[in-house]
Structure 1
């Protein structure tokens, strides 16, 4: 088996539509699919899942994880909702799921590993509703998890971490201290009564030159000297070796997309940072994170819940293909970088 690299499988396996007769008709094939998986395949799938998928979906497939509290939409709870079969799960593992944190694992897992983890999820969680593997075991270094029982209420939220200390009993105060010393590194988003203020930087005024009506465009010196933290992202990168399609995409991107994503694709220009949510930083993606078909689909159909519009009525198919080719070539991370 190919070694499994240290990268947690991100969340986002969403329910596929299916109801009435269609759902009933799918039940028999689904049962056959899960029953057909041999023990060796299921065990391989368990190992892949426990190494890659648990962080978002949980060891028992119920998505009761720390990651789930940060992600919108949340990770898929395989034990609830419309049932999935192994082929549907495999398709999502292979291609990812647009608009979610679920990335494509093509090129990270091989076909055997992807098929195995899909079969395991379908059998273990969707069909059997089995608990799989507990994290707090002796094998994972928790030889006596019960001795941390006083901290459990703070991990589960039964007692809020920001509850006034003076309102707690002596045993609860000891449990709170135990939670902060032994549990918080994994349960770091504890249940609290007041979440507090969510902080992020954003522009409060126009940058120097360039966006004020009547002013000339930003002087190049301002863009390269960091005098404006935004203008330096308006400099078009010079890329050698672009083919004709990528050159066409460059022209289209800089004329249309750079307004929000910046000329350098980072979204760290003034407009990109002023938006809420902020424009996507295209340099954070790779072809594994954003396969070509998904990138073209996002350009064509837009991204719900953001300012990313659908370009299908503005750009033709060949133009969308050209923009996608340029974005992949100019901004996406190369494998291994």
Structure 2
């Protein structure tokens, strides 16, 4: 019995010591010194240390806010000249005689994040690994106006940076790839409706400035405007404000709920000026318009000077190369023409907005002098995709799928010279290569080809000569299947072709024949062809004989090797399989 009392006494004593140490630690923290300094500067007697706590009701719990234990002068105008953290907080609403924000009711963390429960500076500011909401200081705190105010479409006094970010999100065409509920519906890139709830402000900034910093295989382009600190800060503030959990009722919002009037412009009458506004992503008739093509695409003015982004193909010739209907369809759904296109789908545009863009693009009329030399022709019309060294690695090539053709291989250029000219004249469906017949004369195209041949000559192998191989016809007694059983050839069998394709072709072209096999991205440019693209395979120039020669002899200047060890019957079966895929996808 005595031993039990001793144990209880020891535990009680230990508990008292622990309590005393806790109290000592609490009263020995920075906020105590701050409070002493505060009352000393006011010329008042220090009443004793006090943990100043505000309880803010949230939809799911109670937010504990002890920030004013240090920021003790936040609500006192007499502390206007004090240094932080004792200083008076200026009005959140600029120019307001009486700020409606009552810090005694709402605290600090509602706007500034951080860890409101903590009393030690480092912890209170959330400056440690893993804390989801580090302190937002200065204008970036406008991200949290969204917690109490409806910010879907109007201006709110004191939230200028947030509003600027919202306008830039539209102007810079971020909405084309990313969904934010109520703003956009794209599924091209990760949804950002809850970006602020998932990511820190610093993470959002880093993801814009260096897209591959957090996601190594990110397809997000690195835009020119990421070097503009104000632009990045505004967009990051807007994205940080996208949070699903908000204080949005009269009962839970500390200062009430205000819903501004939405002001997102929609064009109802097509015009060149409306198209110019959409293309540039700038306000139209005083309101924000969803656009921003110029962030990815460049164009030339009447003097030939380039303006715009360096991510997608130049649009100076788009209407002349493609035609109005093609361009309109491509804006709405680029994959209807190029199955692997990464261009966003702008299906939210109405007919008047599409017509406005077409009208504006139709005003681009720049053309080189007809007597221009081959090098000048190449620099103007080809270099952005095919590169200065003809290697298919131009400034916009990384964002094109399939990549532009490598023209630095002399054997490719001379082996397919007739096809080469046809591709320039009529384009290559299913790719970014347009038809140039409405922009360039045949003489200019011949001049261009001669320049490319001369420039690629430095890479020419010795004694290169293209072998001519005709497509065998089923039943032709002169083309027996000698590599098989010496029998007459029959029409290709898609089922047999599927088996042969899986055995010989999938490492590069993939099991689905989409050009994305396991070895595809380890190969030298150009990458394997997408063989389920009906746009490419249904071209008049893509004949069965062309496919036969490509399989039998390989493709000169490309990673495609010769499969001359295959029998003619096997090659015909593979061609039949490829054609059947295209028929099924129609």
TM-score normalised to the size of structure 1? 0.33
Higher relative contact order (CA 8 A, sep 6+): 1
Larger Rg: 2
TM-score normalised to the size of structure 2? 0.21
